[in-house]
């Protein structure tokens, strides 16, 4: 069933690429002639293929391939325009430092960007308005009801471009008016052809008698897909509803033995990148340390205990961004617009440069580049009491950035950290090379936009 969502994302990607190359064709045709395009197309194809690949990466980093984000509103089009500005700067930089391509597209560059902008704005507007909502619809029948079902139905209504629709809820109990059709199993099976569900999402706590199970089994031959509700929730929201999960569910779904090759590759990448960033750390150490010392005195570094893999306590290092003795011996979360953060500290946090000394923790083996952010022992102990599955974060090394960091705003309370935990456990369960690449690209977007906290 999730193939439909992938098809929609791929249609966006290939639509963008087609229009980008079409914009190049129109640029050369307008500037020169049809004959020029035929004779010189190969000269432009290779360098612009590289450029358009970079453009697509920028689009991806800005969530322009996120179906939830694809709406015809000010935020979407503002982001699209910002992406084009970034792409023009990248293109100018690219051709300036790669003169061996033999083309210097000054007028062509801006004409191409203008044509591409018009084409993609039109394409995305049409896509968001019609195609995303009405093509490849997936009608979901929910067998059983819970808070997760209600949340998913709300998500379907708020984001119709995702392509999901509630066909009905199958339940024996009267429910709030969250879906137009509410049927019992007998009514659902009898009216199945009229309801036309593509997928039946079965609640993980739903117990069925033999007769009901047998009747539902027969629907397999009607091309209906069956899926566990939690898998649907996982795929649509990118998080896990921890309060509804059980130890047995984790035993079935946390397949750590299958990630051995991935873990080894990730360890190699961690050390390779840590060596590279360590050189960068040495390069900025003196100027950053000097400014911290001159503006707020010593110490330059802030050292703090954190909980790592398997509950191991280690010391994390950062450039100090707060005033000295900011906590007065009592652990507390940083708040939005925290008055304890120094002027230079705000810049370090927005650029994430304050985190750079943690490459030492990666080299020591305490951390990874990607994983749940390491928490302080005081908070970890409290969170373990209030969220029983919290220790699952410690199955892997904590990271400089992670899935929760790019999907959830800053957590400044215990309650917010519990909500954020849903994304951390999702990452522990689903971590992969592709997911890590996604996190890296979107983290770069946060850094380049100075959105760190």
DSSP H or E segment with residue 228: strand 225-228
Comparing 305 with 40, which gets the higher pLDDT? 305
Question: How many separate domains does the chain show?
Answer: 3
355 belongs to a structural domain: yes
248 belongs to a structural domain: no
- Each residue's pLDDT tens digit, 213-245: 887 887 877 777 888 888 889 888 889 888 788
Residue ending a domain, choose from 100, 134, 168 = 134
End-to-end CA distance of the chain: 37
Kindly state whether residues 231 and 274 are assigned to the same domain.
no
Kindly state whether residues 398 and 433 are assigned to the same domain.
yes
- Categorize the per-residue pLDDT at 275 as very low, low, confident or very high, splitting at 50, 70 and 90: very high
Kindly state whether residues 318 and 401 are assigned to the same domain.
yes
- Each residue's pLDDT tens digit, 411-452: 778 888 888 999 999 999 989 998 999 899 888 887 777 665
Quote helix, strand, coil % in the chain, to nearest 5.
65, 10, 25
Kindly state whether residues 231 and 172 are assigned to the same domain.
yes
Q: Where are the alpha helices (DSSP H) in 135-218?
A: 147-158, 185-190, 192-195, 210-218
SS3 3: helix
Kindly state whether residues 32 and 74 are assigned to the same domain.
yes
Kindly state whether residues 290 and 382 are assigned to the same domain.
yes
pLDDT score recorded for residue 186: 84
370 belongs to a structural domain: yes
The label of the residue with tokens 């900025």 reads 284
> How many residues in total does the chain contain?
453
244 belongs to a structural domain: no
Kindly state whether residues 410 and 428 are assigned to the same domain.
yes
Kindly state whether residues 145 and 58 are assigned to the same domain.
no
- Each residue's pLDDT tens digit, 50-100: 889 999 999 988 888 888 777 778 888 888 998 898 888 888 887 777 665
d(CA 185, CA 206): 12
Q: Cis bond leading into 299, ω under 30°?
A: yes
pLDDT score recorded for residue 419: 87
427 belongs to a structural domain: yes
DSSP H or E segment with residue 168: strand 164-170
Kindly state whether residues 407 and 432 are assigned to the same domain.
yes
Q: What is the CATH number of the domain that holds 203?
A: 3.40.50.1980
Kindly state whether residues 228 and 344 are assigned to the same domain.
no
Q: Under the phi-then-psi rule, with left for phi > 0, alpha for psi from -120 to 50, and beta for the rest, what region is 409?
A: beta
Comparing 126 with 314, which gets the higher pLDDT? 314
Domain coverage including residue 152: 138-237
252 belongs to a structural domain: no
Kindly state whether residues 144 and 272 are assigned to the same domain.
no
SS3 452: coil
| Integer Rg of the chain from CA | 26
């Amino acid at each position: 069933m999730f193939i439909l969502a992938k098809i929609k994302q791929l249609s966006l990607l290939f639509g963008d690429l087609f229009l980008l190359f079409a914009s190049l064709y129109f640029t050369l045709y307008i500037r020169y002639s049809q004959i020029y395009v035929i004779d010189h197309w190969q000269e432009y194809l290779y360098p612009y293929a590289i450029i358009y690949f970079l453009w697509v990466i920028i689009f991806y980093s800005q969530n322009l391939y996120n179906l939830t984000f694809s709406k015809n509103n000010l935020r979407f089009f503002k982001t699209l325009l910002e992406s084009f500005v970034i792409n023009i700067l990248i293109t100018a930089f690219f051709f300036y430092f790669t003169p061996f391509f033999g083309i210097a597209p000054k007028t062509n560059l801006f004409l191409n960007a203008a044509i591409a902008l018009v084409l993609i704005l039109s394409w995305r507007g049409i896509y968001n308005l019609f195609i995303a909502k009405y093509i490849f619809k997936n009608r979901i029948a929910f067998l059983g009801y819970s808070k997760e079902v209600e949340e998913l139905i709300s998500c379907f209504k708020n984001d119709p471009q995702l392509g999901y629709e509630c066909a009905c809820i199958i339940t024996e109990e009267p429910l709030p008016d969250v879906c137009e059709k509410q049927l019992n199993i007998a009514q659902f099976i009898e009216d199945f052809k009229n309801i036309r569900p593509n997928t039946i999402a079965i609640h993980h706590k739903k117990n069925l008698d033999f007769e009901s199970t047998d009747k539902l089994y027969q629907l397999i031959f009607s091309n209906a897909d069956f899926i566990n509700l939690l898998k649907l929730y996982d795929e649509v929201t990118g998080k896990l509803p921890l309060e509804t999960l059980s130890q047995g569910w984790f035993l079935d779904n946390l397949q750590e033995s299958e990630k051995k090759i991935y873990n080894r590759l990730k360890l190699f990448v961690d050390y390779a990148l840590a060596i590279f960033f360590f050189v960068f750390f040495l390069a900025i150490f003196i100027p950053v340390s000097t400014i911290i010392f001159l503006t707020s005195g010593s110490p330059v570094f802030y050292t703090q205990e954190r909980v790592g893999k398997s509950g191991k306590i280690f010391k994390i290092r950062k450039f100090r961004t707060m005033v000295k003795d900011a906590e007065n011996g009592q652990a507390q979360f940083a708040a939005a617009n925290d008055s304890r953060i120094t002027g230079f500290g705000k810049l370090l946090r927005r650029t994430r440069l304050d985190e750079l000394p943690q490459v030492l923790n990666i080299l020591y083996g305490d951390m990874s580049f990607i994983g749940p952010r390491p928490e302080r022992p005081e908070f970890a102990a409290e969170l373990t009491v209030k969220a029983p599955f919290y220790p699952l974060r410690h199955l892997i090394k904590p990271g400089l950035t992670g899935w929760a960091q790019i999907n959830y705003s800053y957590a400044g309370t215990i309650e917010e950290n519990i909500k954020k935990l849903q994304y951390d456990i999702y990452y522990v369960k689903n971590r992969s090379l592709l997911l890590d690449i996604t996190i890296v690209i979107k983290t770069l977007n946060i850094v380049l936009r100075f959105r760190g906290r």
